[in-house]
Each structure stands twice: as structure tokens, then as C-alpha cells.
């Protein structure tokens, strides 16, 4: 009886598995940022599956707070690929004939936001099947920078550093010496797989060209540096030279400032002197106008005098003519000095 029951169950399972089934197993896929991810979903149909074919891809983002999103759909012999804005234009079916049993898709130009679980659902009544694919987007190591941290002098301690600008963890490091016998110092061996090599008591044999390769699961990148271990520099001489240079610079600056201030004082003094001359000294009087006004005043006075006092007045007035206001013009040696005559009438008699 038990054996008969088992046979019946096996027959039922066989009937069930003979309907629509997805042959692609669940899997995890890792791809680099910017690449294209191929997500397979192949299925088989049975004679009993007579309904319309519907294919649906869903994305469950890595952030569990977001709900599942339909990213592409095939229904009624039409494709709808504009459901999810973040993947619009970047998700496509790989087959032009989906009824042939291939519902695989490509996701192009991968971004970190594309990380999540993708689910393929195929329905053709009464058959239904689905599979899940976990997609992880990683960043290749890039922008590797190699440099020496410290002074590359004999006897000094310094570090060789290898730093990628970006790259998904975990990262693996590998140092190599590319020149000078390509033999690495024994003391460095423990650090050859780390991003930093600590150099103690450096010597000239450490000089050479070194490379650092950074690798993760999706790619690698490399950088190089040139190490030159040299004798210690004369620090005292360097410091003394720097001090002398600073002092000379200060003296030069002082001279420039002194000359500028001196020039400004001279310009200021010249302006003040010129201003005083123009304001304190009045303009000279016109000689011709002074003479005419003086003669006119004397003429009016003479006209009112009598002959009896004329002689004394004339002498007195000529003695009172100011020398600074009335100056005679220079005379030519061949000409006689000019004489002024005054005439007036009194009681019918003309006096000159």
C-alpha cells in the first residue's frame, strides 16, 4: 500500500514538472560599474500551457525599505520597458523572439544603484515559473597614487604609499621592484602585500623604480614611483642661506620704502612753497596806471592853488612821490630825460 502511494506521488510530480519550467538556476552575478550585466532566464513550455505568454522582471533594491519595482514587461506580444525610471533605456530583452523560451535581459552601463535581487517571472496558463538572480555592482580600482612620505636620505625613516582613488573592497596590494636587480630588501617582505611599506634606516641600495598593483574581484590598476636615496643635505648651510636671503630681502624692502617716503616729502615741500609764494605776495601794480593816477591828482591840486604858493607845493609834491610805486622807464643814452610840464591859468596869466 505504501509503495503504491509513492508511485502515485511520483507520477503527480512528473506531471507537474512537465509544465512550464525555468531552466536557469538561481545565481549571484558580480559586475563592474559601467559594464553590462547579462541576467539569464530560459524556460520550457509543455503542451498543456496554452494561455497567453506573459514575462515580467522585478527588482528588489538592496534597500529593503523600497518596494519591488517592475523594470520590463512582455504581455500581449508587446514590450514595456519604461516602468522604472532609474533603468529607463538601460534594460532590454536579449532575444527578439521571446516565445522561443529565452526571457534573458541585459542591464547596460551599470550603476551602484542597480544592486539588488532581480526576479524573472514567466506565465503561460496554467504554467507559472520564476527565478531570482542577485546582482552586485563593484567599482574597479582606479586613480592609483604612489608616493614617498618622508625625506629620501640615507639613514632616514620614510614610507612608500599606494592609495587608490576608488575601488570596492576587498582590495589586494602587491609591490614589485622593476629596476636595480629587481631584488626587494628582505626587511620589506612582510609589507609587500599592504598599501604601505615602512622603510627604516634607508640606504642607497633601496633606490630604484617600484610598482604597486591594486586588485579586487572586478579589475585592477597600477602605479609606479621612483625612489632615490641620497646623502643627507647640509641643513646648517641651507638654513644660513635662507636667513641671509631673508635679511637681504628686508634691507631691499627698507630701501625702497625709504626712497618712496623721501620722494613724497620732497614733492610735498615743493607744493607748500609754491602755495606760499602765490598767496603771500600780492601782484605788482601797473606802472602806467600808477603814474597817471598820481599826475591826475597833482593836476587837480595845482588847478586850485594860487601863484603864491605854487612853488612850495611843487617841491613838496615831487619829494612825496613813492619810489617803489612810480619808477621811470630806463632812458636811452642818446635821448634827454623826459620832463613833465604843468600849466594853469590864473587872472589871465599862463603859468608853466
pLDDT at 271: 72
Rounded alpha-carbon distances, angstroms, from residue 45 to 23, 112, 203, 323 = 11, 35, 74, 142
Rounded to an integer, what distance in angstroms lies between the CA atom of residue 219 and that of residue 239?
48
* Phi, psi dihedral angles at 95 (to 5 degrees): -105, 140
Closest CA to 73 of 61, 87, 58: 58
pLDDT at 283: 56
pLDDT at 183: 73
Contacts 24+ apart (CB under 8 A), 48-53: 48/18, 48/19, 48/126, 48/127, 49/19, 49/20, 49/124, 49/125, 49/126, 49/127, 50/124, 50/125, 51/123, 51/124, 51/125, 51/126, 52/76, 52/124, 52/125, 53/98, 53/99, 53/122, 53/123, 53/124
pLDDT at 4: 40
Ordered per-residue pLDDT tens for the chain, 352 residues? 344 434 333 343 333 445 889 999 999 999 999 999 999 999 999 888 888 999 999 999 887 767 889 999 999 999 999 888 999 999 999 999 999 999 999 999 999 999 999 999 999 989 999 999 999 999 999 999 999 999 999 999 999 999 999 999 999 999 999 986 667 778 888 889 999 999 999 999 899 999 999 999 999 999 999 999 999 876 655 676 788 889 888 988 988 988 888 888 777 777 766 655 555 555 555 554 444 544 444 444 444 444 445 444 444 444 444 444 444 555 544 444 444 444 545 455 554 5
Strands (E), 81-234: 91-93, 105-107, 116-124, 127-138, 145-149, 158-163, 172-177, 196-199, 208-216, 219-227
Rounded to an integer, what distance in angstroms lies between the CA atom of residue 214 and that of residue 190?
17
pLDDT at 62: 82
Closest CA to 39 of 52, 22, 18: 22
Give the number of other CB atoms < 10 A from CB of residue 276.
10
Rounded to an integer, what distance in angstroms lies between the CA atom of residue 148 and that of residue 225?
8
Q: Position of cell 505504501?
A: 2
pLDDT at 161: 96
Q: Which residues have C-beta within 8 Å of that of residue 214, sequence separation ≥ 6?
A: 141, 144, 162, 164, 167, 171, 172, 173, 195, 220, 221, 222
Amino acid at each position: 500500500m505504501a509503495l503504491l502511494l509513492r508511485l502515485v506521488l511520483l507520477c503527480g510530480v512528473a506531471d507537474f514538472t512537465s509544465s512550464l519550467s525555468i531552466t536557469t538556476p538561481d545565481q549571484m552575478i558580480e559586475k563592474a560599474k559601467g559594464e553590462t550585466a547579462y541576467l539569464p532566464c530560459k524556460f520550457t513550455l509543455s503542451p498543456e500551457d496554452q494561455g497567453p505568454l506573459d514575462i515580467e522582471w522585478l527588482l528588489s533594491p538592496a534597500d529593503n525599505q523600497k518596494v519591488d519595482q517592475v523594470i520590463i514587461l512582455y504581455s500581449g506580444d508587446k514590450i514595456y520597458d519604461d516602468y522604472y525610471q532609474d533603468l529607463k533605456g538601460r534594460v532590454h530583452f536579449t532575444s527578439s523572439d521571446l516565445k522561443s523560451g529565452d526571457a534573458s535581459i541585459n542591464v547596460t552601463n551599470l550603476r551602484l544603484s542597480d544592486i539588488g535581487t532581480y526576479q524573472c517571472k514567466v506565465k503561460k496558463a496554467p504554467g507559472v515559473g520564476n527565478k531570482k538572480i542577485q546582482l552586485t555592482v563593484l567599482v574597479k580600482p582606479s586613480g592609483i597614487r604612489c608616493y614617498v612620505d618622508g625625506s629620501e636620505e640615507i639613514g632616514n625613516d620614510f614610507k612608500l604609499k599606494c592609495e587608490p582613488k576608488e575601488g570596492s573592497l576587498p582590495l589586494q596590494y602587491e609591490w614589485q621592484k622593476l629596476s636595480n636587480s629587481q631584488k626587494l630588501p628582505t626587511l620589506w617582505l612582510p609589507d609587500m602585500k599592504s598599501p604601505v611599506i615602512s622603510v627604516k634606516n634607508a640606504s642607497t641600495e633601496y633606490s630604484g623604480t617600484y610598482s604597486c598593483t591594486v586588485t579586487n574581484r572586478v579589475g585592477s590598476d597600477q602605479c609606479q614611483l621612483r625612489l632615490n636615496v641620497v646623502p643627507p643635505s647640509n641643513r646648517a648651510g641651507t638654513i644660513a642661506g635662507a636667513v641671509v636671503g631673508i635679511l637681504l630681502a628686508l634691507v631691499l624692502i627698507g630701501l625702497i620704502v625709504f626712497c618712496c617716503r623721501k620722494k613724497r616729502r620732497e614733492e610735498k615741500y615743493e607744493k607748500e612753497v609754491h602755495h606760499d609764494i602765490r598767496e603771500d605776495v600780492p601782484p605788482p601794480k601797473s606802472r602806467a596806471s600808477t603814474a597817471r593816477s598820481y599826475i591826475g591828482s597833482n593836476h587837480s591840486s595845482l588847478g586850485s592853488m594860487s601863484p603864491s604858493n605854487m612853488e612850495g607845493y611843487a617841491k613838496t609834491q615831487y619829494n612825496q612821490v613813492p619810489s617803489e610805486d612810480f619808477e621811470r622807464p630806463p632812458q636811452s643814452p642818446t635821448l634827454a630825460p623826459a620832463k613833465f610840464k604843468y600849466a594853469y591859468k590864473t587872472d589871465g596869466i599862463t603859468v608853466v
